[in-house]
Structure 1
Amino acid sequence: MVGNTHDSNATILVVEDEQEIRELMALHLLRQGFKVKECSSAEEAQSEFQKQKFNLVILDWMLPGISGFDFLNLIKKSATPTNVLMVTAKTEPQDIVSGLESGADDYLTKPFDPSVFMARVRALLRRSKAHEAPQATEAEKVRLGGLSVNFKTYEVKLIDEPLHLTPSEFKLLANLIESHGRVLTRDQLIENIQGEGINVTGRTIDTHVFGLRKKLGAWSDNIETIRGVGYRVKMDPQ
């Protein structure tokens, strides 16, 4: 598949100490027309990150010297925050949660399928492009695959038919829609929908998702469960 022309000029920093994996990722990215800078350590990557702006950083967790986890924190604290795709052999749910909650925008475990890797890259670049246009992300009304959400009036319509959601369900849906393409952990969702008379604890978030899915009908297929981590709305809902 040929990369979309709107993001093919993106510059991507690949930070991976295993040469074969690093070169494999770079090869797939270059084939899509992306500009790629390869680094084998976080120290080297930090130097490159200070020299130029990158549209995306692809980051391994286990690196010699400074770990990818520590470099992730540096990226997120920088004056020019950049989307980060963490690609790592750490596959335990608690590792995935730690990576996402520390600022990784997506998390892919090794070994990975190159087509999945490229799909994640394109999704994050689309998201990055959307965030460069504040007016679009701050719109009061969003429409995704037949679902319309008005953040000002709290109205939700599916193919122009109004849906009656509870306050918790609306806030849950709103958070997933605003972050579509990105995984939100259960703890993040709980934190975002707490307050204003709403009390959510522990696994009750799954109950709210279940109720929301029932009301969304077929559209609920766009809400993906990331096992052991949380939920996300597909980047391109149908």
Structure 2
Amino acid sequence: MAENLIHVLVVEDEQEIRELMALHLLRQGFKVTECSSAEDALNEVNRNPNFQLFVLDWMLPGMSGVDLVGKIKAKARDASVLMVTAMAEPQDIVAGLEKGADDYLTKPFNPGVFIARVKALLRRSANIAAPPSDSSEVSVGGLKMNFKTYEISYNSEPLHLTPSEFKLLGSLVQNMGCVLTREKLIENIQGEGINVVGRTIDTHVFGLRKKLGEWGDRIETIRGVGYRVKVDIA
């Protein structure tokens, strides 16, 4: 049965932290490979490009974890990347996300939160992909969005969103579980007749939460960075 296990590569140069993460992952039934440098990690990926999840430290000897993200994504396109870092300033987190990390966790971390983030990323990659270009509808937790007709309902009750609100919510739902920076959200929702700048994203999110009612509680603020839609963790 081992070939069916989810394989996680942990890249962390501090042995105690690396072994702690590996221990908790193993207890959850994952297969774990450990590396202490980005170079070792790339060698592992070259040997086996089928890792489903990468857990990366930022400050590694030689190549940094941030620079490693892009190289990993080029070889293991469908894998998720969780960055675990002591670099906790908003601008650092934004940099990591913009380099391609799917989520981040700051040190020191709670092991329960670490495992929850891992499960959320894996659940998202397995079950909640962005609709392909010919898909018209997505449904999440009673919320239904039709991307061709721009219709939306919650528990069969129609909702009335502005074009900006619809695009914003669509971006968050299609990337469920991932943090989207304000800059990325602006990029996603700009279009004909829609001009969004700066903190107007926060205003749109505030309006969305009011219109969505209890579903709006799923939209999580990542202070100083952006937003994401929470994924239910099994």
Q: 2:194 matched to 1:207? A: no
Cα 1:19/1:41, change in 2 over 3 Å: same
Deviation at 1:70, TM superposition (A): 1.2
Flag structure 2 segments of 5+ consecutive residues without an equivalent.
Answer: none
Flag structure 1 segments of 5+ consecutive residues without an equivalent.
Answer: 1-7
| Percent of paired sites with the same residue | 69
Segments ≥4 residues shifted beyond 6 Å:
133-138
1:90 corresponds to: 87
How far apart are the structure 2 equivalents of 1:220 and 1:136?
A: 25
1:190 corresponds to: 186
Question: Matches of residues 1-238 of structure 1 in structure 2 within 5 Å?
Answer: 9-52=5-48, 53-78=50-75, 80-130=77-127, 139-236=135-232
How far apart are the structure 1 equivalents of 2:110 and 2:62?
A: 28
**Paired AA for residue 22 in structure 2:** A
**Paired AA for residue 38 in structure 1:** E
Cα 1:138/1:98, change in 2 over 3 Å: farther
Given that 1:12 and 1:54 are in contact with CA atoms closer than 8 Å, whether structure 2 keeps it comes out as yes
Deviation at 1:212, TM superposition (A): 1.1
Deviation at 1:129, TM superposition (A): 1.7
**Paired AA for residue 20 in structure 1:** E
Cα 1:190/1:82, change in 2 over 3 Å: same
> Aligned-pair RMSD on alpha carbons?
2.1
Count, aligned residues: 231
Cα 1:171/1:146, change in 2 over 3 Å: same
Cα 1:136/1:35, change in 2 over 3 Å: farther
1:48-79: CA deviations, max 9, x gaps? 01100200000000001111111112112336
